[in-house]
Amino acid sequence: MYNPPVPTEVDGRTGRARAGTSAGGRLDSNLLRTKSLEQLVSDVEKGQHLKRTLTAFDLTLLGIGAIIGTGIFVLTGTAAANQAGPAIVLSYMLAGLACAFAALCYAEFASMIPISGSAYTYAYATLGEIVAWMIGWDLILEYAVGSMTVAIGWSGYFQRILAGFGIDLPAWMAAAPGTAPGALINLPAVLIVLAITVLLVIGIRESARFNAVIVTIKIAAVLFFIFAGFRFVTPENWSPFAPYGWPGIMAAGAVVFFGYIGFDAVSTTAEECKNPKRDLPIGIIASLAICTVLYIVVSAILGGIVPVTQYRSFEAALPGTPIVSQAESTDFLMAPVAYVLHVIGQDWAAGLISAGAVAGITSVLLVMLMSQPRIFFSMSRDRLFPAGISAVHPRFGTPYITTIITGLIVALVAGLTPINVVGEMTSIGTLFAFVVVSAAVIVLRLKRPEVHRPFKVPFGYLFPVLGVLSCLYLMLSLSAVTWVRFLVWLNLGMMIYWFYGRTHSPLADRAEQAAQSGLERTGNLVTMLGALGLFNGFFMTLLGYMTELGMTTEATTKWHEIHVTPQQADSVGLFVLGIGLVVFLTGRALAKAGRRPA
């Protein structure tokens, strides 16, 4: 019988595997090998490292800078109109609660492992290299796609402000190809990404100062909306409170989760904090708490000023409920906070809110473009990507190569791509990372209970378990097409790891790899493909059964977007599960047959 390799740690002093490393002839032992906490810190001290300049106040502002932006200024209206109705307040509460569980887990890890890399580094310390790779690959999706989404949204708000002054950009530079007649490129989106990229290359401290100014402006804009809109609230607009039911509330929670992305970005700057063990937990928890309160208040006032469900995209979503014209619906969904002020005749206030929105979205873009290169940097430093791209600028002390690569790719895609469902793609990537970090806290407590934890999640294992369950439930509440794209991205990442990262990793056992026969290597590859089939088939089946059992609905999962029914999805999922199991077992048999005697 095949016995899978046992997860092992690498000794922090010698760099060799500790007792328990699997013998040659099986799947490469580095797949599940972890780095010890001591080695993670030692590798940073010996190699390239970043300049420590950030304080707890800087981190809190960075978190607020990333959190308040597209979520509160755009997604609040979209989720309220199309998924939750006035119950969007509950959606924000549930998403905030799930984030709180994950935030506590992030804070525990960040205080123990104060180096760049966030969830990727935490997974490397607890769950093994292959899981760390998948999380790092997932975070690249989260921050890169999120940056593209925010840049396009920034361009829309910026152009509306210009239009208020009678300035209309030529069609060729105002939008992505195919979105408007004569459109060739969304030039404002490209330029803002390139400008922030330059700022990030110059230095993290300068970026933090810029962010502090922007955060002050957008918090003022949010507070202004609260005080300006409160007296126009009509309680009757809150009824019916939950027209889409519980599945709609959960689906909206999964969508607005995009608006909470930010506190986890704080942990990517751990290597640049003056006192990370104290300041990181403060920055993570404080920024999340402040933003959750603001989200709940803004969404309640928004739903009280106008009957939000009348601005939904499709009339059939709520048969019998009045609906406004498509033009009015589009205006509301594009800029809901400013639009409702316009509806009640407060155009001057709407203009101020639009200016605050531009500031808010700018700071979100800054933090996202800051975070993605640091994940990239950490993976390159671990040789899972080419080592040359982890270089630190000799003068500015920033990961300039990864920052420039990220900026150029995001600028290009943002300039040529319209907004559609990339917000959901960012949400599912974030939720997946939160599930892994919450699980990793449990694993590390079991494996290394003696390690000093400057900050520890309270109530034992309760909050980490709730973090896993709540974030997984929100993931499963997202649309089917989002899941398809997510699984395709993970499958692509697994191919890259298998053919590059696995063989270049410093944890790879060269003697073990050299001892493998061609048949054994083929068997290991087939095994990996079978494991991917099992992973994909499991989630396809689960998504289908959730709709059939009434836990999700067609209105929220949107099976029609991939042209299948829930019944077809679970049938295909079970088929893929079966094929995956056969391929997996075949791979193990081939590897065993090709194993050379010791």
Angstrom distances, CA of residue 434 to CA of 21, 124, 372, 413, 489: 28, 15, 16, 26, 18
pLDDT at 11: 44
Q: What is the DSSP letter of 8?
A: E
pLDDT top residue among 510 and 4: 510
Helix, strand and coil content of the chain, in percent to the nearest 5, comes to 75, 0, 25
Would residue 459 be called left, alpha or beta, if left means φ above 0 and alpha means ψ between -120 and 50 degrees? left
Helix, strand, or coil (residue 35): strand
Q: What is the DSSP letter of 182?
A: T
pLDDT at 169: 86
- Spell out the residues 6+ positions from residue 403 whose beta carbon is closer than 8 angstroms to its own: 197, 200, 201, 369, 373
For the segment 512-566, what is each residue's pLDDT rounded down to a tens digit? 778 888 898 899 999 999 999 999 999 999 999 988 888 887 777 888 888 889 9
CB 211 within 8 A of CB 283: no
Query: Which residue from 409, 382, 364, 387 is spatially nearest to 502, judged by alpha carbons?
Result: 382
Give the mean pLDDT of the chain.
79
> What is the separation of C-alpha 200 from the centre of its chain, rounded to a whole number of angstroms?
20
Helix, strand, or coil (residue 202): helix
Q: Which of 47-51, 246-250, 270-274, 507-511 has the highest mean pLDDT?
A: 246-250
Q: What is the DSSP string of 461-494?
A: THHHHHHHHHHHHHHHTS-HHHHHHHHHHHHHHH
pLDDT at 13: 38
Helix, strand, or coil (residue 9): strand
Which tokens hold the place of 146? Answer: 């999120």
Q: Would you kindly state where each structural domain of the chain is located, as residue ranges?
A: 54-452
Q: What is the DSSP letter of 596?
A: P
How large a percentage of the chain has pLDDT more than 70?
83
CB 138 within 8 A of CB 432: yes
The domain made up of 54-452 has a fold known as Amino acid/polyamine transporter I (1.20.1740)
pLDDT at 530: 95
- Spell out the residues 6+ positions from residue 516 whose beta carbon is closer than 8 angstroms to its own: 24, 25, 524, 594, 596
pLDDT top residue among 426 and 287: 287
Reduced 3-state DSSP string for 64-124: HHHHCCHHHHHHHHHHHHHHHHHHHHHHHHHHHHHHHHHHHHHHHHHHHCCCCCCHHHHHH
pLDDT at 574: 95
CB 368 within 8 A of CB 76: no
CA distance 284 to 149: 23
For the segment 181-220, what is each residue's pLDDT rounded down to a tens digit? 788 888 999 999 999 998 888 865 555 666 677 778 878 8
pTM above 0.85, yes or no: no
For the segment 394-434, what is each residue's pLDDT rounded down to a tens digit? 777 778 888 898 899 999 988 887 665 455 667 788 888 88
Task: Judge whether residue 19 has pLDDT over 70.
Answer: no
CA distance 328 to 312: 10
Section 239-263 average pLDDT: 82
CB 369 within 8 A of CB 144: no
CA distance 576 to 535: 9
